């Protein structure tokens, strides 16, 4: 009877350890990164200099419902989706 319990625990332990490692190593850091990104997108204002995911650098000139209008350094204007912002400079 005791051997059956030990054998069962020996079979279940690796699955539990793998699940815990997944949560600690992948899920929590991804959630933290997601929260930082959402905070960035909520705090952007007109006049902020940003970099898009495509590498375009520009200044936010207008804020619409789902997009921003960026003015690049050569004076051209681009309308981009808000989620295309990678970071603030």
Mean pLDDT (the chain) is: 90
Classify domain 45-89 at the CATH topology level. SH3 type barrels. (2.30.30)
pTM attached to this predicted model? 0.70
Q: What is the pLDDT of residues 34-66, one digit of tens each?
A: 999 999 999 999 999 999 999 999 999 999 999
CB 86 within 8 A of CB 51: yes
Say what the pLDDT of residue 23 is. Answer: 80
What are the two backbone dihedrals, phi and then psi, of residue 48, each rounded to the nearest 5 degrees?
-70, 140
Instruction: Extract the tokens encoding 62.
Output: 């207008």
Rounded to an integer, the average pLDDT of 21-32 is 84
Reading across the β-sheet that carries 77-81, which strands appear in turn? Answer: 77-81, 67-72, 57-63, 49-52, 85-88
pLDDT above 70 as % of the chain: 99
At 24 the pLDDT is: 81
- Round to whole Å and give the CA distance between 70 and 55: 13
């Amino acid at each position: 009877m005791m051997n059956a319990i030990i054998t069962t625990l020996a079979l279940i332990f690796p699955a539990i350890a793998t699940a815990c490692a997944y949560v600690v190593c992948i899920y929590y850091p991804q959630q933290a990164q997601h929260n930082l990104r959402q905070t960035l997108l909520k705090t952007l204002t007109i006049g902020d200099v940003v970099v898009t995911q495509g590498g375009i650098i520009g200044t936010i000139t207008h804020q619409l419902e789902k997009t921003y209008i960026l003015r690049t350094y050569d004076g051209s204007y681009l309308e981009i989706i808000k989620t295309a912002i990678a970071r603030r400079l």
